Amino acid sequence: MPLDHSLIGVESAPHERSWTSADTLLYALGVGAGTEELAFTTENSADVRQRVLPTFAVLAAQAPTGQRHGQRQGRRLGDFDPAMLVHAEQAFELHRELPPAGRVRTTSTVTGIYDKGSGALVTTEARAADAESGESLITSRSSVFIRGEGGFGGERGPRDEWAEPGRPPDHTVTYETRPDQALLYRLSGDRNPLHSDPAFAARAGFPRPILHGLCTYGITGRALLHAVAGSDPARFAAMSGRFSKPVFPGETLTVSIWVSTRTSDGGATALFRTAKEDGTVVIDRGRAAFRPA
């Protein structure tokens, strides 16, 4: 059946999600952090308190698995082959630093279904508040592209005006991914077989399983954190980007960062782009914002 446009603007019932210190440590390992980032990968190193990589916010604010794959409040977004769905864009705002362990109450809303011709772009927004205090913690915005679901005559959606600055980047950060990176990252909750099962990946048109887009996103977030925010997650305010090409586990990623504004008290905004070793851009139209030191 076609996608259910009546879901646009309808807020979901609230759901709760909790995480532990072990969850945030595992996430850090899943996005490539290691022995040089002990604040994010250990909880008992001498004189080092555990902290959380800012991009964990996306996982903390995610809907339950059923809702992520098209089910909302007992109604389906539509009947489609899940192999035709890809993560298109991801953004989040952090209203304060994430704790190593916590619990949030989240509501989500489909904000648009756009006709891209060959497919449909479905956009959603999730708002997560501390389950105890009610304090706003995370606002997450994402979109998925569903191949074969376009052509219904709808609006194409808003345009994003983003242009690479006409100068070399202020920072370039290169990370190698592991051949088994997707198998490690999937333990943080995304068990989509596109990232582990060769037969499923072939059905989606890939020669082998691809890396999770949110893993690439988390690796990119690490680069931004260390290059612009002085490795201080309390300064990391927001991040957004568009997934433009797949990454295969084992490939090398380089994040190019242009600091577009910087204030005297240490606040900053930046543009970024993530590319593979051959120059193929995998996260495009990146933006990030940082609080003062």
Q: Which residues are catalytic?
A: 190, 195
- In angstroms, the CA 199 to CA 82 distance is 14
- CA contacts within 13 A on the Cβ side of 217: 28
Rg of the Cα trace of the chain? Answer: 19
Non-local CB neighbours of 231 within 8 Å, separated by 6+ positions = 37, 39, 225
Q: Which residues are paired to 289 by β-bridges?
A: 238, 269
- Cβ–Cβ < 8 Å for 191, 209: no
> Token pair for residue 49?
């308190």
Sole residue written with tokens 């994430």: 98
Sole residue written with tokens 């048109």: 205
Secondary structure (3-state) at 98? coil
> Token pair for residue 199?
């037969």
- Cβ–Cβ < 8 Å for 36, 96: no
